[in-house]
Amino acid sequence: MRLEKCWFCSSTVYPGHGIQFVRNDAKIFRFCRSKCHKNFKMKRNPRKVKWTKAYRHLRGKDMTQDSTFDFERKRNRPERYDRNVTEQTLKAIPLITKIRQERQINHIAKRQMAGKSMSRKKDAKELEQDLQMLPKKDISHYETKTKVLVSQLKTEENLMEE
Ligand SMILES: [Zn+2]
């Protein structure tokens, strides 16, 4: 069973699904659904359309370089059927999927780090500036807290720079 990739959005096209267009120079374009086919007919560039994989890869939104992608390769030579190999492949699929999902979660968390530290910095600055707005009995308590927070952020910043 050969699984093709959609020319527009790069999702998997399973046998019997989607549509195939053969241009008069014999180049084959496969589409997973009419949405992708229509976008192709409108001559849209998949790199400029936000929901495609090409766009997301180009802008580093998805994990692009990972060892788990090496398993999925297009081979033009048919493999001889071997029951053991097939069995092992089927066993490995859930494991590889799990590893890939975990790495993807890590990738997203790493990308969110910058925004999170920025919002924390903004909060700390606001707290430092408007400390006098708090009720008088709470000021000393919050002052020490702010100092701790600011020093924490500074060490974090130093770690990021290194
Ligand atoms: Zn598609």
Helices (H), 42-82: 53-58
Average pLDDT over residues 80-103: 92
Instruction: Please name which of 7, 3, 53 lies closest in space to residue 30, comparing C-alpha atoms.
Output: 7
Task: Tell me how far the alpha carbon of residue 148 lies from the centroid of ligand 1, in angstroms.
Answer: 51
CA 6 to ligand 1 centroid distance, Å: 5
- For residue 33, report the distance from its CA to the centre of ligand 1, in Å: 6
List the CATH number of the domain containing 35. 2.30.170.20
**Backbone angles phi and psi of 76, in degrees to 5:** -90, -15
Longest dimension (CA), the chain: 81
- Distance, CA 49 to ligand 1 centroid (Å)? 12
For residue 161, is pLDDT > 70?
no
Would you place residue 50 in the very low, low, confident or very high pLDDT band (cuts 50, 70, 90)? Answer: very high
Highest mean pLDDT among 80-89, 110-119, 145-154: 80-89
Residues lining ion ligand 1 (Cβ < 5 A) are: 6, 8-9, 32, 36
Question: What's the rounded mean pLDDT across residues 22-47?
Answer: 96
27: domain range?
1-61
pLDDT over threshold 90, residue 5: yes
CA of 31 relative to ligand 1 center, distance in Å: 5
Expressed in angstroms and rounded, the spacing between residue 118 Cα and the centre of ligand 1 is 36
Mean pLDDT for 146-150 is 79
Percent with pLDDT over 90 in the chain: 48
- Reported in sequence order, the residue ranges of 10-137 that DSSP labels E, i.e. its strands, are 12-13, 19-22, 28-31
Answer whether residue 47 is part of any domain: yes
The answer as to whether 68 is a domain residue is no
What percent of the chain has pLDDT above 70?
A: 98
**Is residue 142 in a domain?**
no
